[in-house]
Structure 1
Amino acid sequence: MTHAHRRIKRPSMNNLASGLLRYAEGLRGELAAVELLIVHGFWLTRADFRSHFIERDTVPGASDEVLAWVKWDQAVTALRRGRLVCSSGEAAVLQVAAALATGGAFPASALSSLDRENFAHVLTATAQASGHPVAQVVTR
């Protein structure tokens, strides 16, 4: 007897990123936060993060277009409670992204946890959330 196994289709990273960007359109803080997560690359590749803290839906009238959004408050709460194991730099990126998206605060000490590249990404995201969409910080 043979069994046919169907593989559950998971959205590709490109589709997830597109869905997050689509949802964030017109929301400067949310867009900057999403772009920070995309350029950082760590959080969106974690299956536990995607399954617990990212919601998905289809665009009304366009079933092939996906909207996706991060449950920022829940993600930061899980981080604070130690349920999201990561480095201090990875935690800092998530804290800053959540603050940009929600208009909340992040601990200033988070910045000292960042390497040069991620520090530049955080500064770029902060400038973009503040209304400077073409800003890009470069470190030397």
Structure 2
Amino acid sequence: MTRRRSSARFFDPTGARFGIPTWPWRMAPPHLRTRRQLTAEGLRPGGQDIAGQVLWNSRRYRCGVRAAYLYDVRLALPKRTPSERQRAALGKALAARRRCPDCGRDAGYVLPRHLGTCLDCADSGATSTRTTLERRHAA
């Protein structure tokens, strides 16, 4: 009974109460999708306005009500694919985040920003606290 009452509370397909068309969880029309659903289908909103929203009760967050915005799949555009130069630049940037400035090796993971070095260098005490603080302020 609680579920039905909350469904009626969020059911506003005309948008008179909430300003935009609103549906309860799992009751939105089939042509409307969230951003994640569009991404899973290889699409993006493509600059269109929000077509509606889904509202549901949540005990996890303080506000109690969560929202997901919906976009019309018929107006969505295909996702853009990066060029080869963009992919190469992204690869270099990600590699730089894995390279330790002290030992110079690729750690195989993104270095923690609060340490500024790989975990092996941080554990061995190869860098003093002063050097780490100087590196942080320089960046």
Q: TM-score, normalised by structure 1?
A: 0.20
Bigger RCO of structures 1 and 2 (CA < 8 A, at least 6 apart): 1
Q: Rg: which structure is higher?
A: 2
Return the structure number with greater helix share: 1
Return the structure number with greater strand share: 2
Q: TM-score, normalised by structure 2?
A: 0.20
